[in-house]
Amino acid sequence: MHQVAVLLLLLFGLFGSFFCNGGNLIGTSTASRIRTASQQQNASSHFVLVHGAGHGAWCWYKVIDQLQKRGHRVSDVDLTSAGINGVDPRSVTSLEQYSGPLLQLLRSVPRGHKIILVGHSLGGDSLTYVMEKYPHQIAAAMFVAANMFPRGSNGTFVYNQVITNNKAVQNSKVYFYSNGSKTPVAAAFKLDLVQDVLYHLSPSKDVVLAKLLLKPRPLFKHHSAELSREKYGSIPRYFVKTTQDKLISPKLQDLMIEYNPPKRVFHVHSDHSPFFSKPAILLEYLLKVAKLHQTN
């Protein structure tokens, strides 16, 4: 099965960000990806793409291809234990640890250079975390059906509605335990349910790809630290609402929008995974934001 997955990755061209100079492997570090991106001298914006739960950088392959063809810089990350990152998800105990590769990437961005940060689903938690830490390096943040929780007690309330009390989220997962603990430390999507819950409007070949590559993701306590107006609040936020979403329903997305209003809401008639089902429309929205926030 693993060999098939690798073959599919090669066929889809997902290893493109790791190869240069006639196909020589240059490594998988975030720093390598930054260097590769910085070589694109004519790029007008620099996008950083952050995947959601169980996914990896591979899920953005259609978007990456089209952004690069239009001359934009693109950096993608595999968060700790995701994608080709080999860390056991059961050992990841905090959002800070999970977001480590994204933090490393932000630290590698040259002074004066700004990025457009794009996150999907659970990736919104990592976006929020780094927005508070590195506000001066982020031109704008786009939440694609992503966790966009408000500050303080409202954040806990919205989190419980969107995640804890969401039957679609809870019923679509299988849990993993560690050291005999009765508390789960990782979770994965049930593969027999993902087509209906995550990808019901997506091409069948993308569903096949996802089923081969989805991984368990760590479970850690919800990060509810204060978000300041001076840092997190200074960054323009955009929300992409997926109107046919079966995992995070439009109603629940509206709740996040109501309690933590973004600068603008874009609508896409897609399932939870517009990078598969509606990549052209998602690309259109990314380019609109890029036009508003040139990062070069």
- CATH number of the domain bearing residue 127: 3.40.50.1820
The mean per-residue pLDDT over the stretch 168-191 comes to 93
The length of the chain is: 296
Full DSSP string of 91-145: G--SHHHHTHHHHHHHHHSPTT--EEEEEETTHHHHHHHHHHH-GGGEEEEEEES
Q: How far out from the chain centre does Cα 103 lie?
A: 14
In a domain, 35, yes or no: no
Amino acid at 200: H
Three-class SS state of 174: strand
In the predicted model, is pLDDT for residue 135 greater than 70? yes
Residue at 9 is within a domain: no
Report pLDDT digits (tens) over 261-281: 999 999 999 999 999 999 999
- Kindly state the percentage of the chain with pLDDT values over 90: 76
Residues marked active site are found at 121, 245, 272
Q: Is residue 6 part of a domain?
A: no
The pTM assigned to this predicted structure is 0.86
- The pLDDT, as a whole number, for residue 162 is 94
Distance CA(211)–CA(119), nearest Å, equals 21
Which residue segment(s) compose the domain that 164 sits in? 46-292
First to last CA, the chain: 42
Asked whether residue 72 is domain-assigned, the answer is: yes
Please give the mean pLDDT across all residues of the chain.
87
Query: Where does the pLDDT of residue 23 fall: very low under 50, low under 70, confident under 90, or very high at 90 and above?
Result: very low
Query: Is residue 251 situated within a structural domain?
Result: yes
pLDDT tens digits along 187-204: 999 999 999 999 999 999
Residue 26 belongs to a domain: no
Higher local confidence (pLDDT), 83 or 179: 83
Label residue 151 by pLDDT band (50, 70, 90). Answer: confident
The residues, ordered by sequence, that sit 6+ positions from 167 with a Cβ below 8 Å of its Cβ are none
Number of domains composing the chain: 1
Asked whether residue 3 carries a pLDDT value surpassing 70, the answer given is: no
